[in-house]
A and B are shown apart, each in its own frame.
Chain A
Amino acid sequence: DAGVIQSPRHEVTEMGQEVTLRCKPISGHDYLFWYRQTMMRGLELLIYFNNNVPIDDSGMPEDRFSAKMPNASFSTLKIQPSEPRDSAVYFCASRRGRGGEKLFFGSGTQLSVL
């Protein structure tokens, strides 16, 4: 199994630009999560999907952030326009079923907004 695949691994952009982060979950997993990690706040849940449907987006910081899951094997997190305070590592994670354990994380996207 290839695991959760995220791209790009690193993204450097200028303030005001659009940023799109991509995620391919593990095949057969019906839950997908987007987290953001910073030194100060740790891992914060932004949004999660169940069977491609957004269930809870209360962690999305503001309207500049949007996420989609057009099918079971692909999700995107978009920031438009980006700001320096968005700089963080963004993780995608997936799992099977309603249970909370054994979230499988991708390697993350390191985002730097200059």
Chain B
Amino acid sequence: EDQVTQSPEALRLQEGESSSLNCSYTVSGLRGLFWYRQDPGKGPEFLFTLYSAGEEKEKERLKATLTKKESFLHITAPKPEDSATYLCAVQALATGTASKLTFGTGTRLQVTL
């Protein structure tokens, strides 16, 4: 069974204080790893897809990286508007249910002034 574990559960940063969120995964064969952002009272919003170890993607202050066992979401010089829950999900290669995403429980990030 595919599993995704995110850490820490919650993270509080001061504005400008860089940090990283971790996503560890177990999957029979990885088709893709996804990062989503979720604001309170809203549905998740797509950020990145990573397909192979060594791949990196960037968007503004966020950079996602991937190894064979985990992914990191690096946040550089965060601002209060980066406060949200960040979700990681994996999609397996195998089976006819190739569309299924397995999500972690997320990291709640709070960035203060």
Interface of A toward B, CB cutoff 8 Å: 4, 31, 33, 39-45, 48, 50, 55-56, 58, 91, 93, 98, 100-108
Instruction: Name which of B19-27, B64-72, B94-102 contacts chain A.
Output: B94-102
Chain B residues engaging chain A, CB cutoff 8 angstroms:
31-32, 34, 41-46, 49, 87, 89, 91, 96-106
Contact B46 A107 (CB under 8 A): no
- Which residues of B sit under 8 angstroms from A101, Cβ to Cβ? 32, 34, 46, 49
- B residues in contact with A40, CB < 8 Å: 105
Q: Are B43 and A55 in contact (CB under 8 A)?
A: no
Are A48 and B99 also in contact (CB < 8 A) when A43-B87, A100-B32, A100-B91 are? Answer: yes
Task: Write the nearest CB–CB distance from A88 to chain B, whole angstroms.
Answer: 13
Contact status A43-B99, CB under 8 Å: no
Chain B residues with CB under 8 A of A31: 99
Contact across chains for B101 and A45 when beta carbons are under 8 A apart: yes
A42 to B102, CA, bound (A): 10
Give the distance in Å from the alpha carbon of A40 to the alpha carbon of B106 in the complex: 11
Q: Cβ of B102: which chain A residues have Cβ within 8 Å of it?
A: 45
Q: Which residue of A has the minimal Cβ distance to B31? A: A100
User: Which of A43, A50, A98 makes the CB contact (< 8 A) with B103?
Assistant: A43
